[in-house]
Amino acid sequence: MYNTIKIRIITPVVSRRRQPPSDQDEYSERIKRLAGLSSETEVDRVRIEKGPPSIESRYDDAMATPDILRLIKEAEGVDGIVVNCFCDPGVKAGREITNIPVIGPCLASMLVASSICERFSVVTVLKEVVPAIEENARMYGLMDKLASTRYIEMPVLDLHKDEAKTLEALVEQGRKAIEEDGAQALILGCTGMTGMAEKLSEEVGVQVLDPLPTAVKLVETLASLRLTQSKLTYPVPPEKTMIL
């Protein structure tokens, strides 16, 4: 008998807008469709209460992490967690405090990209984000496969103000990554770009990975295989009194 897999997406940015239940349902169905999940898999989303409105620096990453870890600690009745940001904030620490798989979109998309090509490029939002992405690539042992990290010079919160303009900028940098840097596949370098991969792929002629759906699918796969992060790599932290 098939066991339902429940995946929780932690969105590590704050929002003043209260999300109605209908938005939650619509979001879950959209992610399930983009990720090609089983009809039996369930997806829900929670959002941090304290932190930045967007993540575009290591500082933003650090400010979001405490509430990300709180939500990971409090997660019950779920089989896997995805932290919804390409910087993968709180993922490594979060893996130490739970026995279910915790995945970040950067890790997931780089792993998958490296399995379909020899050289891939990331197209992200701002120049300031590039060092953090390349730091992740080194940490994941995939720097040799990263052809380049290009950026469209557009803040996260502006991505959907004019989607045609955003796509145009992605196409321009994507083509440069292919023609000048030797990329054989592309990765969208921000989960705020979710849903834009298919159109970009049609324009530039190579496969484009959408990092959030890729991470969600990877968590579903790990959960279905009953796999999670090794506790030799991510041991449970020693108990101690914290002054917060």
The CATH number covering residue 192 comes to 3.40.50.12500
Find where tokens 């969600």 sit.
216
pLDDT for 222 equals 98
Give the angle subtended at the CA of 44 by the CAs of 41 and 49, to the nearest 5°: 160
pTM, two decimals, is 0.94
Indicate if 39 and 157 belong to the same structural domain: no
227: which 2 tokens?
A: 């796999």
Average pLDDT over residues 190-209: 97
233 falls within a domain:
no
pLDDT for 18 equals 64
Give CA 45 to chain center in angstroms. 13
Mean pLDDT across the chain, nearest whole number? 95
Indicate if 65 and 149 belong to the same structural domain: no
Whether pLDDT at 85 is above 50: yes
Average pLDDT over residues 230-237: 97
241 falls within a domain:
no
In the chain, where do the E strands start and end? 6-11, 42-47, 80-83, 102-103, 120-124, 146-151, 185-188, 208-209
Average pLDDT over residues 105-113: 98
Find where tokens 């994941």 sit.
140
Average pLDDT over residues 19-37: 84
- CATH number of the domain within which 35 lies: 3.40.50.1860
Q: In which band, very low, low, confident or very high, does the pLDDT at 1 lie, cut at 50, 70 and 90?
A: very low
**Domain assignment of residue 23, given as a range:** 6-104+214-224
pLDDT 10s digits, 45-74 = 999 999 999 999 999 999 999 999 999 999
Indicate if 177 and 199 belong to the same structural domain: yes
Indicate if 80 and 16 belong to the same structural domain: yes
Whether pLDDT at 97 is above 50: yes
Whether pLDDT at 2 is above 70: no
Average pLDDT over residues 108-130: 98
Region for residue 96 given its phi and psi (left: phi exceeds 0; alpha: psi -120 to 50; beta: otherwise):
alpha
Indicate if 20 and 35 belong to the same structural domain: yes
Indicate if 111 and 100 belong to the same structural domain: no
